[in-house]
Amino acid sequence: MTETVLASATKEVVIGFERPFCVIGERINPTGRKKLAAEMKAGDYSTVERDAIAQVAAGANMLDVNAGIPLADEPRILAETIQLVQSLVDVPLSIDSSIIDALEAGLKVYKGRPLVNSVTGEDESLERVLPLIKKYDCAVVAISNDETGISENPDVRFAVAQKIVHRAIDHGIKPCDVVVDPLVMPIGAMGTAGRQVFALLRRLKEELKVNTTCGASNISFGLPNRRLLNGHFLSMASSNGLTSAIMNPLHDEDMHAIAAANVLNGVDRDCRAWVRKFREPVPEAAPAENGAPESEIEARRREREARRRRRL
């Protein structure tokens, strides 16, 4: 099956249908975060540092890095942010910008093989971004909209994705290096958004055979209890072919849903990751009468005996 190989200077991550779901941390993005935008514009990356470390500690496999700040020097800020983040964590990065100069500035300083976020089906975008992807031998997120905007028809979005994959091939880029974003619509505004994206994900997997990603929280926009809805969406989407998502790994509901999906989709071998994460700790060994540490077997025997007595 299709595998998209990404890397930092020291660590490789593979996105694929037979691989555990890839979590791409979303928090290094000043969009909608006025304080972060002001800090980054002023050259203060303290919040970036905290967010990078916290997301990896929470289980992110990759980090998305965005520096889209109005009236700021985006190429310089993006390059500085990438260098800083790579000095702090070892996971691969997604370089996120709609500005070609910023993308190239980030690619020039990046160590490894990144994911570029993103290219659309617009001809101008294709002809500007794809040569950059080929030049730096990296992978790219393909967003399934074009000059006509975002279609509510999933067949149209599939056709746009197909166009991007075929154009990438024309530029010498392999389909495995195109990760399609099928565009998740808010379920509160479009009641069929869930069914549509699940059907589209299946087609992208079975017909185009490409890996996929999305902004996971889009599905719950405008609704209460968003984290619960996001978690259920992620587990259902992964069972229909979604192989990665740009999301907040600090939300336990989302991360637990993905851990469960990895088990149920058979990509968490022998449930090892699940057991490591959720196994109850072995009770501390109590000292024996002679002062020596009690063996694990004896500690378990004592625990069973205590439970039996409580039942009585």
Share of the chain above pLDDT 70, in %: 93
Better pLDDT: 305 or 183: 183
Residue closest to 165 by CA, chosen among 198, 186, 191, 139: 139
Report d(CA 252, CA 255) in Å as an integer.
5
DSSP string, the chain: --EEEEE-SS-EEEEETTSPPEEEEEEE--TT-HHHHHHHHTT--HHHHHHHHHHHHTT-SEEEEE---TTS-HHHHHHHHHHHHHHH--S-EEEE-S-HHHHHHHHHH--SB-EEEEEESSHHHHHHHHHHHHHHT-EEEEES-BTTB--S-HHHHHHHHHHHHHHHHHTT--GGGEEEE--PPPTTT-TTHHHHHHHHHHHIIIII--EE--BGGGGGTT-SSHHHHHHHHHHHHHHTT--EEEE-TT-HHHHHHHHHHHHHTT-SGGGHHHHHHHPPPPPPPPB-TTSSBPPHHHHHHHHHHHHHHHH-
On whether the 3-278 domain is CATH 3.30.420.40, my answer is no
Residue spans per domain, the chain: 3-278, 282-312
Q: What is the structure's pLDDT at 225?
A: 96
- Residue 281 is predicted with a pLDDT of 77
Give residue 305's pLDDT.
75
Per-residue pLDDT band at 301 (split at 50, 70, 90): confident
Q: How confident is the model at residue 282 (pLDDT cuts 50, 70, 90)?
A: low
Q: How confident is the model at residue 304 (pLDDT cuts 50, 70, 90)?
A: confident
Question: Contact at 8 Å (CB) between 85 and 50?
Answer: no
User: If you average pLDDT over residues 79-84, what whole number do you get?
Assistant: 98
Query: Mean pLDDT throughout 253-267?
Result: 97
Residues in the chain: 312
Chain mean pLDDT for the chain: 94
Tell me the pLDDT tens digit for each residue of 35-65: 999 999 999 999 999 999 999 999 999 999 9
